[in-house]
Amino acid sequence: MVLYTQRMKNITGPPVTGADFFGREEELARLRRAVEAGNHALLSAPRRVGKSSLVLRLCDMLLAEGWQVVRLDVQHCSDEAEFVRALLRATVDGGLEVPGGVKAVDGLRRFRSLFAGTKGQVGPVGLEVGGDEADVWRKLAASVQRVLSSAGGQGPVLIAVDELPIFLGKVADSEDGVRRARGVLDWLRGVRQNTGGRVSWIITGSVGLDSFVERRGLHGAINDLTPQTLGAFSDETAVAFLKALGANLDRPRNMGDEVCAEIIRRVGWPLPFYLQLLFSSLMDRPAERREAPGFPTTEDVAAAYDDLLQPHQQIRFDHWDSRLDQQFDDPADAGIARYVLAHVCQRARGCPRGKLFNLLLSRQPNVDPDALERRLVSILHLLGRDGYLLQTGSTHAFRSFLLRDYWKRRFCE
């Protein structure tokens, strides 16, 4: 069991760990069951839902129970060689043993000097490097595969790879990109198959890997992954969370039931991130409010919500706009998505698909209506899956009220 002695803090950005992590017992148990059974999980959920925090928590729990854990975030890797290097480095950081008692770390040190110029073969794990850059990743990949294939001798192993779809998207955008992305996915699948039973993988991403492979006809490369998802807190958990945040302040605050209910009503979609944001904004109210008897009140919540939408706070939400360019391969689709969002954000109850279709058609009267309809359906599907919109019947509305109000102020006023 992991014991945390620190107090929970109000964190509004990076993944939370230790005492700052709240709730998610069921989701953790589900993910844990998957990896304990030797399965490989694909955890896809919209941005800022808490994916990385959840996986880090599971890593900490399993580490404390004697698992070997390899974790890495590959969003900054720009090509295959960098990706495999990151995987090898994380393997080393995870202290993974390889047969013969030689740690991969020794191989990596030697490999680094090799990469800097020398060629040859090193170490019992057989890191072979040489030839031109384009070829390096294949050789490295074969070496890493050997390291991972022999892992698990010391106990079960978890490999958690965060933001794989962002890296794959970069590869796919390059020359001959789809073939190269397939190469990476097929290689990873091969590694998973070779290590089945002893090594479990969790792959995470806020850009859906499922839609990435679907769009490129690469589905077979991930059909061994068990899909998992993550949503908002239940209202009950959200209330408990807000009360705990209040109780853990240097100067503890009583978060009354009405105030908690108002926060949940305001955010509309109680992701822990939005709750943390509004809580933080509430505690940033001017001193005369903070010192007033009965603080915080529901009026304070309203004012704190408004503060969150001021221009200097927009940076917190801007990624929802920029991420659209990554979600859609075709810039014209990103343009339609932005048009749809700008329209839908102006109506709390949302907008029927038929209305959106008519609006789009009136912008491009010469377009084939059937093709436009299909395009709109697929764009709305993606916006729903990525957490922008929620579909009720044929109506599409913003899922998060906070995001809706941001969108309105940022793009429509």
Ligand X SMILES: Nc1ncnc2c1ncn2[C@@H]1O[C@H](COP(=O)(O)OP(=O)(O)OP(=O)(O)O)[C@@H](O)[C@H]1O
User: What is the x/- site pattern for ligand X, positions 1-20, by CB under 6 A?
Assistant: ----------xxxxxx----
- Nearer residue to Mg ion within complex by CB, 75 or 378: 75
Q: Is 327 in the site for ligand X (CB under 6 A)?
A: no
Shortest distance (Å) from residue 200 CB to ligand X: 19
For residue 254, report the phi and psi dihedrals to the nearest 5 degrees: -85, 115
CA-closest candidate to residue 192, choices 42, 60, 85: 42
Shortest distance (Å) from residue 51 CB to Mg ion: 5
Distance (Å, whole) CA 119 – CA 104: 18
* Per-residue buried b or exposed e for 338-367, using 16+ beta carbons within 10 Å of the residue's own CB: bebbebbbeeeebbebebbbeebeeeeeee
Residues 232-291 binding Mg ion (CB under 5 A) are none
Distance (Å, whole) CA 337 – CA 334: 5
Shortest distance (Å) from residue 161 CB to Mg ion: 12
Among 91, 206, 281, 395, binds ligand X (CB under 6 A): 206
- Nearer residue to ligand X within complex by CB, 47 or 138: 47
Helix 133-149 to helix 80-93 angle, to the nearest 10 degrees?
Answer: 30
Q: Is 51 in the site for ligand X (CB under 6 A)?
A: yes
Q: Is 53 in the site for ligand X (CB under 6 A)?
A: yes
Among 34, 40, 48, 266, binds ligand X (CB under 6 A): 48
Pinpoint the alpha helices (H) of 272-400: 272-283, 287-290, 298-308, 318-327, 331-344, 353-363, 369-385
What's the CA angle centered on 76, arms 157 and 334, to 5 degrees?
A: 115
CA-closest candidate to residue 157, choices 62, 84, 90: 62
Q: Please enumerate in sequence order all residues whose Cβ is within 8 A of that of 302, keeping only pairs 6 or more positions apart, or say none.
A: 262, 266
Shortest distance (Å) from residue 412 CB to ligand X: 25
Q: Is 52 in the site for Mg ion (CB under 5 A)?
A: yes
243 binds, among Mg ion, ligand X, none (CB under 5 to 8 A by kind): none
Q: Is 207 in the site for ligand X (CB under 6 A)?
A: no
Q: Is 53 in the site for Mg ion (CB under 5 A)?
A: no
Shortest distance (Å) from residue 232 CB to Mg ion: 16
Q: Is 276 in the site for ligand X (CB under 6 A)?
A: yes
Which residues in this chain contact ligand X in the complex, by CB under 6 A? 11-16, 21-24, 47-53, 206, 272-273, 276
Which residues in this chain contact Mg ion in the complex, by CB under 5 A? 52
